[in-house]
Each structure stands twice: as structure tokens, then as C-alpha cells.
Amino acid sequence: MLGRAQGYPRPGTLGTPSGSSAGSCRVTVATLRAPGTPRRTRRRRHRRDRRGEPRCWSPESTGTGTDRHRHRHPNRRPSVTRMLSTSQPSPERVPSPEEQEWAGPEALCPGWLEDEAPDGEVPGHSGDPDSATHAYEQLQSALCQEGLPPTLDCSAEPRTGFGLLDMTVCILGSPIPFLPVLLEGGTRCPGAMVLCLSPAWASRVPSETSPGAWSLLLSQGVSFKAGGHSALETFVPPRRANYVTGTFAPGDPEGGWVGELARDLDCPTGGSAPLAHRLEDTLVARWVLAARGDLPVPPTLAFVLSARGDLPAEPAAPGVRLVRLEDPQGQQSLVQEEVGAFLGGTAMEPYSQVVVRPAGWRWRGTGTRSTHRKEEGAAVVQAVSARLRGLTEEDSVLLEATVPTARLPVPPPRSPAPRLPMALRICTLVCRSWGDRPQLCQVACAVGRAESPVRHGAALPQGLDSSLQQWGVAAPGQRQALARRLREAAEAAMGALLATEAELSSQQRGGTRARTDILGVDFLLACVDEALELVALGTNSQRCLETCALAEAMGRGVGEPRGELPRLLAEAVLHRAQCHLVEGKDILLIGAGGVSKSFVWEAARDYGLRIHLVESDPEHFAAGLVQTFLPYDSREHRRDEEHAERVLELLRSRGLRPHACLSYWDDCVVLAALVCQGLGLRGAPPAAVRVAKQKSRTHRHLQRCRRGRPPPAAFAVPCRRLQSHGDVERAAGAVPFPAVAKLEFGAGGVGVRLVENAGQCHAHAARLWRDLRDDADHPGIGLGWGNAMLLMEYVPGTEHDVDLVVFEGRLLGAWVSDNGPTRVPAFLETAACLPSCLPADRQAQLVRAALECCRACGLRDGVFNVELKLGPAGPRLLEINPRMGGFYLRDWIREVYGPDLLLAAVLVALGVPPVLPARPAARTHLAGVMCLASEHGESLAGGGGMEALRELHGRGLVRLNRLFEEPEGAGEYEEPLLSVACAGATLAEACERLLGLCQGLGIDSPRYPVEHFLSHFK
């Protein structure tokens, strides 16, 4: 492994004295510009050089109609300039069409060209209207390149009416790096993505919600719609941003005003100037990568001023040694000693070359460096000392090994031509995805000559696989393994960075809400001990984004399908904006639920929801966890209409006007629908919820739904209602045996029984009607609606849950999980897994059937849990639960896929369509078993099993989801106590772990054969 040496041996003398080596230093100090010395960026130089005058021209001064866009949109130009430029008339002539053509490629990729250019210039184009016009031109050119229509000028008619529930993702600064995100986001959430090209388009006002913070208001912007259409708009009154990011990178011409506008905002902010500075500081980045991410980095010796405060006092980072200097002038001997120890140390053994360079965000991309052979100790000391003379508190001087790219034998046929030493740089882009998990979005490689670093923008990007193949990694398996390791390394890098950022003060972060959401990490492919090793070079906020976006765009030139990059990034920022949208919203919750819903209170706090809770139990533990507790006994559900009136009165008397109303508690779904209707809020209509809540009604209703291909009737199952023993014979005539007898309004599988004939049905009904009469006999299983039963044909096949998010009848998300065999004759759930092991087409059948059943019942807005069985002839419905999936489902879906059902339910109830992954990708596999008090009570409680499980849960080794604190129901009415699950990279691995655990804890037994339960998951 590289760079793992903690310290270096300290020979008393310098490595190899080499007096003559000073002359080999390729860059002389005198030619270098000190950071901060103002100099125009290369782009601006280009712009002037090419034409001898600035390209910016004021449309007021143009009337010749040479602008192609203006031809098409005669109205656009004048008002664009009203906004973009000041009244200063531009003296420039109108460029000829040829010149405009010339402007194309350069305008497309300013950052690309500029990557290594700015020479430490401090960003300072703040508010320059010239740069805003230029940015607008860049945007038009880029849209044109994409084959998209130019931006439509709609600014004459101000857009009004943006309110509390409108999403606004604001991208500040140059249009290019984020263009793919703007286009994708515009299609996903039309109008939500707004590009702000000028500081004059936005203003900061003190936040009403977060004292000390600011709200960003947009009065103008380019908003993006479906299909790549964009419009220049004015917003009256100004529109409030829910999420802000932009081009913060030092050296970016817009960096100054972008950083200023995005500072200390009250909404989530993707990055900030201070965070970008940290990312661009090689020393800070390497420290994070090595110390926190456990990634190999090039051996690095860093000198900083002792006063520098943004680094840990004692950074124990493998491969990075930090030396603090009181007085860089007077510490020649210390420098000599450190340099000597570094050059002669074990970490340097594999390397022959070193680089001396200043580091810090101001030095980003300056290319300032000198290269030395390891033996030239004196020259290295001299170079370091020279650099130290200009050292400031924000910078460092780095001495680092030049890590050569691994050289592998290139497979035949080999050209006889000499092979030039080449280097491969691997650029990765990682985003902070659902649940703050790092997710690799894209990889792009660049190849260059080995003598100097391969820079972003110096070569066209290429794919990882073909690069590795070109490099001689012939075996596909080896290339896949490297790709996997790269993913792990890049995601570990972001994990490390996020952990470090979380420890910074809000001032250091540039705002309480500022987090790095999009991160670039560069790697080298090195050879260490004859093995290929990924060595992390550094991080950046923008360059990898630009490189990866270019790679993605290039792919389309050869007919490659759109990659994941724009989708993942757009989903990440839109999701963040939605999280901000729900903050501070008043949510009326009907029914608190039991311990299985304990997660709700924590989630509500994290999302910043103001919960007003209507709950039948006046002593409920959640009373103290909510904004308003409204005890109200609604257990007699046959009077839900009356309850709804009372609840509405209660709200009126308290002056409460909730933004949304919902319930995730089975018993309260009808009441919630009635209250929703009374308040005029979004939700499923009460009639629809009633149909779903009553099992026989659901099926009878579906049987009548004969339109559609196939009609929803195809998913229904024959069943008959049983209100008395007299109904049994009639039902037995209509429903074939074996059949299932169960409670009409039941929940939790209580009272469900397989019956082989009418006699068994009579017997079961008699017992049930005797034991379960009202809610007090078994709370929470729907007995408040009575204990009517139904007889239903037994459906063969495998059992599945489909959890759906539906908005205006449109499917926004669906997750399929599998259930193991149930324990007959009762139907106790034994095991489950997520993701489903079904092939995609069978999952699609289940999802479509679930959706059609919901829609046919009138459930068009909400989060629903549909239980189905999949037989040889396709899916059949068991029941629809018109609420989010219970027990472990919310936890598992979040863990495996990222999205939160609870948040989705809140968003739908607010009237906002939740943004969910368009292509859900499982991050892990979960397999779980249910534990029963009757079977496992003793081993769990007495045998210390529960303690062990809690401990393993705390360490993230198992997922524990409790349904009850105490055993619930007894004998044939028993419900599971808890679910224990294990994760694995594959389902087989998850099952193997779980089985081992169950055997170890005594959950597995001949009476409770876990291996058999899990054997269904294949």
C-alpha cells in the first residue's frame, strides 16, 4: 500500500548531496507571479487576443441583425440587455457571423480552457454586466450545440404567484458546468430550475425563519422547462430559492459574486466559497482523503505557518506529514532535516522524482512547480526555502512524490514504434445522494505525457474501461474489479469529506446550510508492489463536473444513450429543495401509532415539520414530541364522519390551519381522508379510502372495473362478506375451497385463516366473533369498524408488497419486496427481502397491477401499500393499505434505495409531487425474519438475545424493527414482535448472514426453520 508510512526515518544528513542539481529546477522563482497578483484570466485574454477587443457587445448598439438568435426571437435581445447590461453603450462593432462561429467552442467550455489558467487571480468580476451578457451568450451557444431552441424571452410579462410550495433550485454563475443538470431538472420539475447569471438578478433579505441567515430572492432568471426549453423570466414578487448552488470555484470569473450571494443562506446550499477553497487546497484535500477516507495519496511533506488554523493540530494522516513553522526564514535547519527525512524515508522508496509547489486555493491551476530527482536534496531544500519566503497563512509549500502511472505490458499486436511514457488521470464525480450517501455519478479519464501532470481540459475525456484496456489491463474481470474499487474509493472520499465538513463551524462552511453536494476527486493508477493501486490526488468543486459533463455530451455524438450524471445530480438537488420546502410546514397527523412508528418523531424533527397530532390515547408517548397534541377518541370508526366534524372544530378553536393532513396508521385512514376533505387539502377521497379499507368491497369494486387492458377486474379475487353464520353457506357456494376467512377491516394478519370447507369456516368465525368483538379486544386491527369477516378464494403464488407513490394518478415511485412462506393455517409473516428477487418483468407486472387497482378504487394521491400474490397467470390482489407501508418497509426502502416513504407522503399531502429516483438502484440487499413472542420470547428476553441484537443494531450490523414493545395477541391472534434483518452485497450473502445470526441467537429452530423461510429468496 502506498503512503502508509506514518513517519519517515530521519537520517542526520540530506538524502544525496547534489550541488549541481539546483540548475535542474525547471521553473525559476522569478518568473512566477505571486498569488493575488491581479491578472486577467486566460479566457478573457483569449477573448481579447482573438479580436483585439472585447467580444461583449451591447445589443442597444446592434441593429444589423447578424445575430442568428435575434432573427428568430426579435424580442429577446433588447430586454435581455435591459437586465444584463448597464446603460453603458458598447463601442464595439458587431462581430461578423464568422466571428460568432468562432466564439462557439470557446464559449462552450470556458472552465475547460481555463482550468489551469487563472494564475492565482482572486475572483473579482462581481456584477460585471459584460460578464452576464457573455454568460447569456454562452448559454445560447451551448443550447444550440445541444440542438435545443434558444432561450425564449418572457421577461416582459412578469411571472407572479410563486408561493410557499413552489420549488426553486437556483444555480448561480456560469451556465456551462450545470447545464446538464438544468436541462434534466427542467424536464423532471418544469420551471423549478432557475439559472441566475447576474448578481443584479438576485437579492438577499434577512431570513424570516432562521435568525442571522439570509433568504435569496430571485427577481430574474432563466428557468428550464420540459424538453430543454428555457425562458428568461422576471418574477414579481421575487421568488425565494429553496436550494442554491453555483460556480464557486476560485478562478471562475463569477466566483466572487456567486460566493457572496450564496453566503449564510437559510436554505440548503450546495457548496460555498469557503468550502470550494478547502476542496481546491491540495493539503487539506489530501489530509481528508488520507486521514478520514483511508485512501492512498502521494507521499507529501507540507510546510505551513504555525498560525494556520484550519488544519488539525496533529494530523495523523498516512502519507502526509505536516510541519508547522514559526518563522519560515529562520528555520533552514528544520527544513533541511524534514526534507532529508522525507526524501530518504521509506514512503519515498518507490519513487525517483519529487515536486515542490505552493498549494492553497489561490494557487489552484497555476502550474507553479519545480521538479527534482530524489537525489538532488540540496536543490529540493533550496526550492522549498525559496517557496517558503512567500508563504502566507492560507497557503502551504508541498514537497511530494511524483507518482508515475503504472506501466503494464501492452497486449499484442504491439507497434514497433517506441512507447512514450504516458500518464492516466482518472476523474470521478460524486454526489451527496438520498440519505446523504455518497454516490459515484460518472468517471472520465484523461491521458497525457508522463513528464508533467495530466490536466483537466488538456485532452478529451475517455471512458474508464477503454482506458484500462489501452493501458494493458486485458482481463475484463480485472477491469471490473478496478471500476468497483474506484467507486468505493470515490465514495469513501466523499464520505470523508462530508464527515470533516460536519465538524466545521458554520462560518468555516460559509453558512449553516452549506454542504458539498457535488465533489470531484482525481485519481492516478499506480503500481505498488506489483499491484495496481488507485492513488487519490486531490479534490475539486467544478473541474470534474465539467470534464464529466463533456464526456457525457461527447457520448451522445456517437449515439450513446444519456448517462446517469444529469439525472443523479438533478435528483440530488431537487430532493434537497423539497426537503427545504417541507421545513416549518404544519402537518396534521391523525393517529400516532405504536412503537413501530417511533421513527416518525425523529424524522419530523429532522425535516423540521410542525406536527399537530390527533390521537385517541391521551397518554400517548408522542404527546410531548409534537407541536400540538390534540387528544380525541376516534376508536369507534363507524362514526368517523362525526369524528371528522369534531376534529375540524378542534382545529378551528385552536386556530390551526395545517398545510397538509395525513395518516400512516391503518385505523385512522378514513378519518384522515374525511378531515383532508373538510380542510380542502390534497389526499385520497374518503370514498376511495373506504373502498380500500374494507377488503371485500375492494374486490367487489374491482370486479366491476372492466375497462383497461387488462381491466382491474383481472386482479380481483372472488370473495363474499360474512356477517353471520347464515352467510357462510352462501359464501361457500360462490367461493371455491381452499379459501381464506379473515376480518373485513383487519390488519396485521390477525384472524386470517386457511379453511378447507364450510365447516372449518363456521368454526373459525365462531371463535373469532367470540374473541374479537371491539377495539379493546385487540387494539389497532380495525375492530372499531366491527368484526365482520369475508371468505376469499385462496390465491396461490409468491407474496409481495408493492409500495407506491402516486400523484394525480401518476406513478412516481414503486418498490417491490418479497415475503417468505407464511405459517399456515394462520398467515403469520416469516421472512422478507428487498430488493425483490423477481426479474424486472415480473416486478413490472406487480407494480402495474398495484397501480391499476389503486387508481380503479379512486386512490390517486398518496403513498399506498399494496399486497399481492404472483402466480403463474400473473398478479392477484390481496389487499390495498391506503397508507405508507408498515413495519420495516419505510426503514428498508430508505436503506436499500434512499428515498423516504414518510417524506414522500408528506410531500404528496402538501400537493407537491415528490422527486424520486427515476431509475432506483439498490445499494444493498436486505433479508429479514420476524420474531414471535411465542417462539422467541424466551431466548430473546431471557437468553440475552435482545441485548445482543440491540448492540448489533447500534453497530449497524443488523437492522432491528420493532412492531411491539410487549408480546401482542396470543395463540392464533399473535402478531410478530420484531423483524431482524441483515444486509449483504448480494441477497445470498444477506441470507447467509441472517441465518448465521438466527442460529447463534436461537431464533432458528426446528419449529421455526429460518433456512426454509429464506430458501424462497432465489
Q: Is 310 in the site for ligand ADP (CB under 6 A)?
A: no
Binding site partner of 148, from ligand ADP, Mg ion, none, Cβ cut-off 5-8 A by kind: none
Give the span between the Cα atoms of 222 and 219, in whole angstroms. Answer: 11
Toward Mg ion, which CB reaches closer, 404 or 885? 885
Q: Is 746 in the site for ligand ADP (CB under 6 A)?
A: yes
Contacts with ligand ADP, 838-867, as mask; x by CB under 6 A:
-----------------------------x
Give the span between the Cα atoms of 339 and 634, in whole angstroms. Answer: 77
Q: Is 878 in the site for ligand ADP (CB under 6 A)?
A: yes
Q: Which residues contact 754 (CB under 8 A, 6 or more apart)?
A: 738, 739, 740, 794, 824, 825, 827
Q: Is 792 in the site for ligand ADP (CB under 6 A)?
A: yes
Residue in 335, 570, 670, 747 binding ligand ADP, rule: CB under 6 A = 747
Which range of residues in 66-74, 98-106, 636-644, 748-756 is near ligand ADP by CB under 6 A?
748-756
Toward Mg ion, which CB reaches closer, 146 or 867? 867
Looking at residues 344 to 383 of the shown chain, list those that interact with ligand ADP (rule: CB under 6 A): none
Contact of 869 with 878, CB cutoff 8 Å: yes
Toward ligand ADP, which CB reaches closer, 162 or 794? 794
CA atoms within 13 A on the CB side of 831: 26
Smallest distance from the beta carbon of 830 to ligand ADP, in angstroms? 10
Cβ burial of 584 (10 Å; 0-12, 13-18, 19+) is: middle
Smallest distance from the beta carbon of 405 to ligand ADP, in angstroms? 57
Q: Is 740 in the site for ligand ADP (CB under 6 A)?
A: yes
Grouping H, G, I as helix, E, B as strand and the rest as coil, residue 92 is coil
Binding site partner of 571, from Mg ion, ligand ADP, none, Cβ cut-off 5-8 A by kind: none
Looking at residues 851 to 880 of the shown chain, list those that interact with Mg ion (rule: CB under 5 A): 867
Q: Is 930 in the site for ligand ADP (CB under 6 A)?
A: no
Contacts with Mg ion, 816-855, as mask; x by CB under 5 A:
----------------------------------------
- In angstroms, how far is CA 900 from the centroid of its own chain? 12
Toward Mg ion, which CB reaches closer, 440 or 877? 877
Looking at residues 814 to 843 of the shown chain, list those that interact with ligand ADP (rule: CB under 6 A): 822, 827
Residues that contact ligand ADP, how many (by CB under 6 A): 20
Q: Which residues contact 36 (CB under 8 A, 6 or more apart)?
A: 120, 122, 362
Smallest distance from the beta carbon of 747 to Mg ion, in angstroms? 7
Q: Is 784 in the site for ligand ADP (CB under 6 A)?
A: no
Q: Which residues contact 395 (CB under 8 A, 6 or more apart)?
A: 35, 304, 358, 359, 360, 362, 363
Smallest distance from the beta carbon of 716 to ligand ADP, in angstroms? 11
Toward Mg ion, which CB reaches closer, 284 or 740? 740
Smallest distance from the beta carbon of 789 to ligand ADP, in angstroms? 11
Contact of 430 with 497, CB cutoff 8 Å: no
Grouping H, G, I as helix, E, B as strand and the rest as coil, residue 490 is helix
Q: Is 713 in the site for ligand ADP (CB under 6 A)?
A: no
Could you tell me the end-to-end alpha-carbon distance of the chain, in angstroms, rounded to an integer?
A: 38
Binding site partner of 456, from ligand ADP, Mg ion, none, Cβ cut-off 5-8 A by kind: none
Binding site partner of 518, from ligand ADP, Mg ion, none, Cβ cut-off 5-8 A by kind: none
Toward ligand ADP, which CB reaches closer, 110 or 749? 749
CA atoms within 13 A on the CB side of 641: 3
Toward ligand ADP, which CB reaches closer, 632 or 794? 794
Q: Is 546 in the site for ligand ADP (CB under 6 A)?
A: no
Buried b (16+ CB within 10 A) or exposed e, 678-698: ebebbbbbbebbbbbbbbbbb
Residue in 742, 890, 925, 936 binding ligand ADP, rule: CB under 6 A = 742
Contacts with ligand ADP, 751-780, as mask; x by CB under 6 A:
-x----------------------------
Cell for 902?
Answer: 414518510
Which range of residues in 421-429, 446-454, 648-656, 745-753 is near ligand ADP by CB under 6 A?
745-753
Toward Mg ion, which CB reaches closer, 564 or 867? 867
Smallest distance from the beta carbon of 842 to Mg ion, in angstroms? 20
- Ordered DSSP codes for 424-476: EEEEEEEEE-GGG-EEEEEEEEEEEETTSPPPTTTS--B-HHHHHHHHT---H
Smallest distance from the beta carbon of 791 to ligand ADP, in angstroms? 9
Binding site partner of 752, from Mg ion, ligand ADP, none, Cβ cut-off 5-8 A by kind: ligand ADP
Residue in 268, 748, 813, 914 binding ligand ADP, rule: CB under 6 A = 748
Smallest distance from the beta carbon of 995 to ligand ADP, in angstroms? 22
The three-state DSSP-derived secondary structure of 318-378 is: CCEEEEEECCCCCCHHHHHHHHHHHHHCHHHCCCCEEEEEEECHHHCCCCCCEEEECCCHH
Toward ligand ADP, which CB reaches closer, 338 or 666? 666
Toward ligand ADP, which CB reaches closer, 392 or 822? 822
Beta strands in 935-977 (DSSP E): 959-962
Q: Is 450 in the site for ligand ADP (CB under 6 A)?
A: no
Binding site partner of 847, from ligand ADP, Mg ion, none, Cβ cut-off 5-8 A by kind: none
Distances (CA, A) of 691 to 782, 806, 866: 14, 17, 14
User: Would you say how long the chain is, in residues?
Assistant: 1018
Smallest distance from the beta carbon of 748 to ligand ADP, in angstroms? 5
Q: Which of 314, 339, 333, 336 is CA-nearest to residue 324?
A: 314
Smallest distance from the beta carbon of 930 to ligand ADP, in angstroms? 12
Residue in 119, 879, 935, 1004 binding ligand ADP, rule: CB under 6 A = 879
Cell for 530?
Answer: 506489483
**CA dihedral in degrees (4, 9, 14, 16; nearest 10)?**
-70
Binding site partner of 801, from Mg ion, ligand ADP, none, Cβ cut-off 5-8 A by kind: none
Give the span between the Cα atoms of 313 and 207, in whole angstroms. Answer: 36
Q: What strands, in cross-sheet order, belong to the sheet with 320-325?
A: 320-325, 300-305, 396-401, 353-359, 370-373
Toward ligand ADP, which CB reaches closer, 78 or 718? 718
Smallest distance from the beta carbon of 827 to ligand ADP, in angstroms? 3
Cell for 286?
Answer: 489530501
Give the span between the Cα atoms of 973 and 827, in whole angstroms. Answer: 10
Q: Is 799 in the site for ligand ADP (CB under 6 A)?
A: yes
Smallest distance from the beta carbon of 879 to ligand ADP, in angstroms? 4
Tell me whether strands 739-743 and 719-722 are parallel, antiparallel or unpaired. unpaired
Residue 3 falls in which region: left (phi positive, over 0), alpha (psi -120 to 50) or beta? left
Binding site partner of 827, from Mg ion, ligand ADP, none, Cβ cut-off 5-8 A by kind: ligand ADP
Contact of 955 with 997, CB cutoff 8 Å: no
Q: What residue type is assigned to position 22 of the chain?
A: A
What is the CA angle 402-405-407, rounded to 5?
135
Q: Which residues contact 244 (CB under 8 A, 6 or more apart)?
A: 169, 170, 172, 216, 261, 262, 265, 267, 268, 269, 270
- Torsions phi, psi of 481, nearest 5? -65, -40
Q: Is 717 in the site for ligand ADP (CB under 6 A)?
A: yes
Q: Is 520 in the site for ligand ADP (CB under 6 A)?
A: no
Toward Mg ion, which CB reaches closer, 637 or 869? 869
> Which residues are at the interface with ligand ADP (CB under 6 A)?
695, 717, 740, 742, 746-750, 752, 792-795, 799, 822, 827, 867, 878-879
Q: Which residues are near Mg ion by CB under 5 A?
A: 867
